[in-house]
Amino acid sequence: MLDAKIPAGPLDDKWTDYKGHCKLVNPANKRKLEIIIVGTGLAGASAAASLGELGYKVKAFCFQDSPRRAHSIAAQGGINAAKNYQNDGDSVFRLFYDTIKGGDYRARESNVHRLAEVSANIIDQCVAQGVPFAREYGGMLSNRSFGGTQVQRTFYAAGQTGQQLLIGAYQALERQVALGNVKMYTRHEMLEVVMIDGKARGIIARNLVNGELEKHFGHAVLLCTGGYGNVFYLSTNAMGSNVTAAWKAHKQGAAFANPCFTQIHPTCIPVSGDHQSKLTLMSESLRNDGRIWVPKKQGDNRKATDIPEEERDYYLERRYPAFGNLVPRDVASRAAKERCDAGYGVGTSKQAVYLDFAAAIERYGKTEVGKLGKDNVSQEEVIELGKEVVKEKYGNLFDMYEKITGENPYEVAMRIYPAVHYTMGGLWVDYELQTTVPGLYCLGEANFSDHGANRLGASALMQGLADGYFVIPYTIGNYLADEIYSKAISTDHPGFAQAEKEVRDRINKLMSIKGKQTVESFHKRLGKIMWDKCGMARNEEGLTQAIAEIQALKKEFWSDVKIPGSINEMNPELDKAGRVADFIELGELMCKDALDRNESCGGHFREESQTPEGEAMRDDANYMYVSAWEFKGESDWELHKEPLLYDVVKPSQRNYK
């Protein structure tokens, strides 16, 4: 069932060779080929713009009121590229190697190498579109460093990199809309993939403003629908982020790969109470300058500023002297959990650690004093100057922290705790980004392809744009070249009617339950099961329990959920109910996958598989594969394994000590 279609030949040449030999579609035929793109975040907007430019007829869909609002907009820290502008030893190979290693040797070499190869083109493309990246005084692009690497290859626009990149892609997309090459459907939610003769041929979408179901044909369908972190209820994802599109595709035959690979980000603002609706990320870039610590004494209730230096435990610097505060995310998150579980946590909930800028402020202050050539400067002045520098670098993040917590992080150490952030798992795709369903492609966070068991910071934006700008324009041609004789199928075809009926029946079923419990309450309960038993640490007993609990929750949902309003109107609760129903099913599969993988790798930590010092222990002999799950029926999946072959990189235990 799984043919990754990895081109033959040396790793360095695969992509070039592929491009040189893939089939092409001539311009006159492109105009006759229709492509549906679901999702217009970085992956979808870049794909829609590029395919529109090529001359294909594109229809693009998103559930927000404008493509500019996709969740990609929230990315803060930056985007990686192997430009080596800093002359610090970066190269395509190093970016490739870091990504493979950071992913704990659970990603496909060929895909990751291609990603590193096109990374530089992404920066060029974005600059040409007018993305105002940060620059040095000489006018050149500026870089910063990010976790899990030892070079500076991250491009950024203050703390709003995702916003600037998305606006670039959005503008390119709107240009194609204006030219008539792309038709944009906002406030639409795709609810089914239409299958005709074994191929994906369209979608059923619900117009969220009036509740009407619509049928749309495409010679190919691209899902660019983002990640599913909201299965945990609380995450750093936007409120609307969901798995529905990918899940519907999964039920139509698309294998779901590595569903349990979840990234828990180490630096988020801690939960403040039961009312919490989402969690806010504090960019990883803060770890460049902030130092993470907890008191050396358990249950220490003193204020951070009252705890003297020698009574602080800078546990990352202690455990991982080589990388210190810049260890990869999974390592940093587990270390925070370990300290808090052991009773060293801070704040009222004790589920938090400090991220402290005092040392950085002083260090920068002294540098400034040096620049000004002053002596006899008071400590206060040094601190003031240092604060200015920190403000310039992280001002918007500090403001955000203060708005949420009411505390001033220039004066008191920030409190942070890990939170669900990104999902490495997703629809299985081959080298061409095609799922196991012919004609159905998956791009961006929604696919599983490049990050293995852990994603390095600043590489999701890179992947989304690589997929959309530079990969799909080639690989889709290879499929569509054989479709030039297929006429557009009328949406009166029974395949469409059948799919539409299924969607309608399901909506009717949801609305007819008329139970007593709200959608939100089910979502919260699912999230709690997932966080407690399929979160930062997992074990056989917990996962087995979780599966039983989720199955019970599913029954309860389908017999007691309460959805107000009606079908043929705007009804956000109904939209949410459909998404939560899919999350429940996905949650079960995630636990099943986590149970199958009795090793620790990347973000997946099985308590049964650790070293005596508590570090994750991979098991390459037994688990060097991608788990691709085929849907068979209710609570029934078949596992297919794609073996991972490392021709170039020699897998070793990751060591950040």
Partner 1 sequence: MEHYNMSLHLKVWRQNNSRDKGHFENYKVDGISSEMSFLEMFDVLNERLITEGKEPIAFDHDCREGICGMCSMYINGKPHGPWKSNTVCQLHMRAYKDGDTIVVEPWRANAFPVIKDLMVDRSAFDRIVQAGGYISVNTGNAVDGNSLPIEKDKADASFAAAMCIGCGACVAACKNSSAMLFLSAKVAHLALLPQGEPERKKRVVSMVAQMDKEGFGACTNTGACEATCPKDISLSNIARLNQEYLIASLTADK
Ligand X SMILES: Cc1cc2nc3c(=O)[nH]c(=O)nc-3n(C[C@H](O)[C@H](O)[C@H](O)COP(=O)(O)OP(=O)(O)OC[C@H]3O[C@@H](n4cnc5c(N)ncnc54)[C@H](O)[C@@H]3O)c2cc1C
Q: Say which amino acid occupies 93.
A: F
Residue whose beta carbon is closest to ligand X: 41
Q: For residue 142, what are the contacts with CB-CB under 8 A and spacing of at least 6?
A: 133, 134, 135, 136, 155, 156
Q: Which C-beta is closer to ligand X: that of 459 or that of 600? A: 459
Q: Is 177 in the site for partner 1 (CB under 8 A)?
A: yes
CB of 645 to partner 1, least distance (A): 31
CB of 75 to ligand X, least distance (A): 3
CB of 22 to ligand X, least distance (A): 23
Task: Please choose which of partner 1, ligand X, none residue 38 contacts, taking the beta carbon within 5 to 8 angstroms, the exact cut-off set by kind.
Answer: ligand X
Which DSSP string do the residues of 177-240 spell out, in sequence order? Answer: HHTTSEEEE-SEEEEEEEEETTEEEEEEEEETTT--EEEEE-SEEEE-----GGGGSSSSS-TT
Q: Which C-beta is closer to ligand X: that of 40 or that of 325? A: 40
Which 432-471 residues touch partner 1, going by CB under 8 A? 469-470
Task: Please choose which of ligand X, partner 1, none residue 9 contacts, taking the beta carbon within 5 to 8 angstroms, the exact cut-off set by kind.
Answer: none
CB of 573 to partner 1, least distance (A): 6
Q: Is 24 in the site for partner 1 (CB under 8 A)?
A: no
Q: Is 191 helix (H, G, I), strand (E, B) or coil?
A: strand
CB of 86 to ligand X, least distance (A): 18
Q: Which C-beta is closer to ligand X: that of 45 or that of 546? A: 45
CB of 153 to ligand X, least distance (A): 12
Asked whether the beta carbons of 480 and 98 are under 8 A apart, the reply is no
Closest CA relative to residue 600, chosen from 579, 614, 582? 614
What is the C-alpha to C-alpha distance for residues 598 and 591, in angstroms, rounded to an integer?
12
Residue 60 pairs in a beta bridge with 37, 184
Which 185-204 residues touch partner 1, going by CB under 8 A? 186
Asked whether the beta carbons of 383 and 362 are under 8 A apart, the reply is yes
Q: Which C-beta is closer to partner 1: that of 280 or that of 539? A: 280
Asked whether the beta carbons of 351 and 417 are under 8 A apart, the reply is yes
CB of 286 to partner 1, least distance (A): 15
Q: Which of 163, 235, 475, 627 binds partner 1 (CB under 8 A)?
A: 163
Task: Please choose which of ligand X, partner 1, none residue 267 contacts, taking the beta carbon within 5 to 8 angstroms, the exact cut-off set by kind.
Answer: none
Q: Which of 38, 158, 355, 581 binds partner 1 (CB under 8 A)?
A: 158
What is the C-alpha to C-alpha distance for residues 641 and 52, in angstroms, rounded to an integer?
36
CB of 563 to partner 1, least distance (A): 8
Q: Which of 29, 86, 91, 121 binds partner 1 (CB under 8 A)?
A: 121
Q: Which C-beta is closer to ligand X: that of 256 or that of 623? A: 256
What is the C-alpha to C-alpha distance for residues 316 and 335, in angstroms, rounded to an integer?
7
Query: Per the structure block, which two tokens stand in for 451?
Result: 């990050």
Q: For residue 170, what are the contacts with CB-CB under 8 A and spacing of at least 6?
A: 40, 45, 66, 67, 68
Q: Which C-beta is closer to ligand X: that of 386 or that of 468? A: 468
What is the C-alpha to C-alpha distance for residues 632 and 256, in angstroms, rounded to an integer?
12
What is the C-alpha to C-alpha distance for residues 91 and 82, in angstroms, rounded to an integer?
5
Q: Which C-beta is closer to ligand X: that of 458 or that of 550? A: 458
Task: Please choose which of partner 1, ligand X, none residue 258 contacts, taking the beta carbon within 5 to 8 angstroms, the exact cut-off set by kind.
Answer: none
- Give the per-residue SS3 of 45-88: HHHHHHHHHHCCEEEEECCCCCHHHCHHHHCCCCEECCCCCCCC
Helix axes 92-102, 109-129, angle to 10 degrees: 120
Task: Please choose which of ligand X, partner 1, none residue 444 contacts, taking the beta carbon within 5 to 8 angstroms, the exact cut-off set by kind.
Answer: ligand X
Asked whether the beta carbons of 260 and 604 are under 8 A apart, the reply is yes
CB of 618 to partner 1, least distance (A): 34
Q: Which C-beta is closer to ligand X: that of 469 or that of 623? A: 469
Task: Please choose which of ligand X, partner 1, none residue 62 contacts, taking the beta carbon within 5 to 8 angstroms, the exact cut-off set by kind.
Answer: ligand X
Which 330-389 residues touch partner 1, going by CB under 8 A? none
Closest CA relative to residue 47, chosen from 474, 388, 404? 474
3-state helix, strand, coil in the chain (%, to 5): 45, 15, 40
Binding mask 399-438 for partner 1 (x = CB under 8 A): xx--xxxxx-------------------------------
Asked whether the beta carbons of 15 and 39 are under 8 A apart, the reply is no
Q: Which C-beta is closer to ligand X: that of 99 or that of 627? A: 99
What is the C-alpha to C-alpha distance for residues 4 and 649, in angstroms, rounded to an integer?
19
Residue 196 pairs in a beta bridge with 199
Q: Which stretch binds partner 1 (CB under 8 A): 9-17, 284-292, 398-406, 612-620?
A: 398-406
Residue 155 pairs in a beta bridge with 79
Q: Is 31 in the site for partner 1 (CB under 8 A)?
A: no
Task: Please choose which of partner 1, ligand X, none residue 422 contacts, taking the beta carbon within 5 to 8 angstroms, the exact cut-off set by kind.
Answer: ligand X
Query: Per the structure block, which two tokens stand in for 462?
Result: 């890179």
CB of 307 to ligand X, least distance (A): 30
Q: Which C-beta is closer to ligand X: that of 185 or that of 522? A: 185
Q: For residue 136, what are the contacts with CB-CB under 8 A and spacing of at least 6?
A: 142
The CA distances from residue 390 to 158, 286, 654, in Å, are 12, 10, 32
CB of 571 to ligand X, least distance (A): 15
Strand 220-223 relative to strand 440-442, pairing? parallel
Query: Given the rule CB under 6 A, which residues bind ligand X?
Result: 38-44, 61-64, 70-72, 74-79, 161-162, 188-190, 224-227, 236-237, 241-242, 244-245, 281, 421-422, 444-446, 458-461, 464
Tokens 């040392």 belong to residue: 359
CA-angle at 559, arms to 553 and 565, nearest 5°: 110
Instruction: Look up residue 11 and give its DSSP letter.
Output: G
Task: Please choose which of ligand X, partner 1, none residue 68 contacts, taking the beta carbon within 5 to 8 angstroms, the exact cut-off set by kind.
Answer: partner 1
Binding mask 59-98 for partner 1 (x = CB under 8 A): -----xxxxxxxx-xx--------x-x-------------
Q: Which C-beta is closer to partner 1: that of 377 or that of 511? A: 511
What is the C-alpha to C-alpha distance for residues 557 and 566, in angstroms, rounded to an integer?
18
What is the C-alpha to C-alpha distance for residues 473 and 445, in angstroms, rounded to an integer?
18
Q: Which C-beta is closer to ligand X: that of 44 or that of 587? A: 44
CB of 492 to partner 1, least distance (A): 29
CB of 345 to ligand X, least distance (A): 23
Q: For residue 219, what are the contacts with CB-CB under 8 A and spacing of at least 6?
A: 33, 34, 35, 201, 439, 480, 483, 486, 488
Q: Which stretch binds partner 1 (CB under 8 A): 44-52, 197-205, 312-320, 546-554?
A: 44-52
CB of 164 to partner 1, least distance (A): 6
The alpha carbons of the chain give a radius of gyration, in whole angstroms, of 24
Which 206-265 residues touch partner 1, going by CB under 8 A? 209, 238-240
Asked whether the beta carbons of 225 and 71 are under 8 A apart, the reply is no
Q: Which C-beta is closer to partner 1: that of 127 or that of 567? A: 127
Number of shown-chain residues binding partner 1 (CB under 8 A): 83
Q: Which C-beta is closer to ligand X: that of 115 or that of 382? A: 115
